[in-house]
């Protein structure tokens, strides 16, 4: 094995598979549109079937459909013959994958699928196969050449089927008017989900965890409050808990540079009046945008009467993965 041969073989594989995928473009026709229409108007789920490598591709297609607004799941054809066929209902649409179109495990359950009156969409590499003829809609995903030099390992054929499945999923996504917010709801653990769904309500410190002092509090006591609550700031409130100012670590550093006596100074004389405040219900990503715009590291959360109800800082957003 030489580096040159490895690179040559890898490039050949990519060129062959790219060529075969591009050839699918001319097969996106009325049959493709009909298949998408059946899945779009399905009252149940899209049930994806496939054996072997087609099964692996089917798993991915089902996952892509489900995450882009088309409810779907994968059923192993072999298991379907031993009880899992009960997972398929008359309201579903079956999407069956088989390069040969003659996969025995799928052929075994075809009569039962037809008896239930379930629409069957087939992706095969053989338009003259039993599966192709049994399907309500057949989509040809045949390839002229496998990327495997022996012509044995499914390579171009599985890539072609996967690409056609992606084409279906994205066509359906567009037809449904699926949005970023919809995508985030099915991916709450991902970065997009956190950016579009997470509220400051879920992150902010409340109750005794919120640093606050009265306007006449000495700076030294205010520093103790900041140290104890560990948010790098403290709110300054009036007698009715309404926010009138904020004091941060940055303000402390600037004050010390100016020679302020923190034993004799009241917080109201060094606080920043009328600080930026936000309300509950704001997206955490929006709060991050405010911090970036104003070059600050913390925000106070107030109610409609401007009473202090919470606080959060940049570290809270970092821990939540919003940043």
191 in a structural domain: no
Q: Do 126 and 29 fall into the same domain?
A: yes
Tell me: do 136 and 272 sit in the same domain.
no
Structural domain contains residue 282:
yes
For the CA atoms of the chain, what is the radius of gyration? 31
- Which of these three, 111, 145, 178, is where a domain ends? 178
State both tokens at 111. 């009569």
Q: Which of 122, 126, 103 is nearest to 114 (CA)?
A: 122
- What are the pLDDT digits (tens) for 130-185? 999 999 999 999 999 999 888 778 999 999 999 999 999 999 999 988 776 666 56
Q: Are 78 and 112 in a shared domain?
A: yes
Query: What b/e readout covers 64-85, taking b as 16+ CB neighbours within 10 angstroms?
Result: bbbbbbbebbbbbbbebeeeeb
Q: Work out the average pLDDT over 118-124.
A: 97
Q: Judge if 104 and 172 occupy the same domain.
A: yes
Task: Please calculate the CA angle 163-166-171 and round it to the nearest 5 degrees.
Answer: 130
| 219 and 112, same domain (yes or no) | no
Q: Are the CB atoms for 76 and 84 separated by under 8 Å?
A: yes
d(Cα 230, Cα 91) in Å, to the nearest integer? 56
Across 13-27, 44-58, 217-231, 259-273, least confident range: 259-273
Residues 227 and 143 in one domain: no
pLDDT digits (tens, 9 = 90+) for 279-315: 998 888 888 889 899 888 889 999 999 999 999 988 8
Percent of the chain with pLDDT over 70: 94
Q: What is the DSSP letter of 266?
A: B
Q: By C-alpha distance, which of 303, 304, 100 is closest to 204?
A: 303
Q: How many domains does the chain have?
A: 2
Identify the domain containing residue 309 by its residue range.
200-319
CATH code of the domain containing 262: 3.10.580.10
Q: What CATH number is associated with residue 24?
A: 3.40.50.10490
Q: Are residues 205 and 161 in the same domain?
A: no
Question: Is residue 308 a contact partner of residue 275, using CB atoms and an 8 Å limit?
Answer: no
- Give yes or no: residues 212 and 152 share one domain: no
Considering the domain architecture, whether residues 69 and 159 belong to the same structural domain is answered as yes
Q: Are 308 and 210 in contact (CB under 8 A)?
A: yes
On whether residue 101 sits in a domain, the answer given is: yes
Q: Are residues 146 and 234 in the same domain?
A: no
Is 51 part of a structural domain of the chain? yes
- Give the CA-trace dihedral at 251, 256, 262, 266, to 10 degrees: -40
């Amino acid at each position: 094995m030489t580096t040159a041969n490895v690179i040559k073989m890898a490039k050949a594989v990519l060129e062959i598979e790219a060529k075969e995928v591009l050839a699918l473009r001319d097969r996106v026709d009325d049959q493709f549109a009909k298949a998408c229409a059946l899945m779009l108007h399905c009252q149940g789920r899209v049930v994806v079937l496939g054996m072997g490598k087609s099964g692996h591709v089917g798993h991915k297609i089902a996952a892509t459909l489900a995450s882009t607004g088309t409810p779907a799941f994968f059923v192993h054809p072999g298991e379907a013959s031993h009880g899992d066929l009960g997972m398929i209902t008359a309201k579903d649409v079956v999407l069956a994958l088989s390069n040969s179109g003659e996969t025995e495990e799928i052929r075994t359950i075809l009569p039962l699928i037809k008896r239930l009156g379930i629409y069957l969409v087939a992706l095969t590499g053989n338009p003259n196969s039993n599966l192709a003829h049994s399907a309500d809609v057949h989509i040809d995903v045949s390839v002229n050449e496998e990327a495997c030099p022996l012509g044995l390992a499914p390579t171009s054929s599985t890539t072609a089927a996967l690409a056609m499945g992606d084409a279906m999923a994205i066509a359906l996504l567009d037809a449904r008017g699926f949005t970023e917010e919809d995508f985030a709801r099915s991916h709450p653990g991902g970065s997009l989900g956190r950016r579009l769904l997470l509220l400051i309500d879920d992150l902010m410190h409340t109750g005794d965890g919120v640093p606050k002092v009265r306007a006449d509090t000495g700076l030294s006591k205010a520093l103790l409050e900041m140290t104890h609550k560990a948010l790098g700031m403290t709110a300054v409130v009036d007698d009715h808990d309404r926010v009138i100012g904020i004091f941060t670590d940055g303000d402390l550093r600037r004050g010390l540079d100016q020679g302020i006596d923190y034993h004799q100074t009241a917080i109201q004389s060094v606080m920043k009046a009328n600080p930026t405040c936000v309300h509950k219900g704001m997206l955490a990503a929006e709060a991050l945008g405010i911090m970036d715009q104003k070059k600050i590291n913390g925000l106070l959360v107030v109610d409609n009467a401007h009473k202090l109800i919470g606080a959060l800082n940049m570290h809270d957003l970092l821990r939540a993965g919003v940043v």
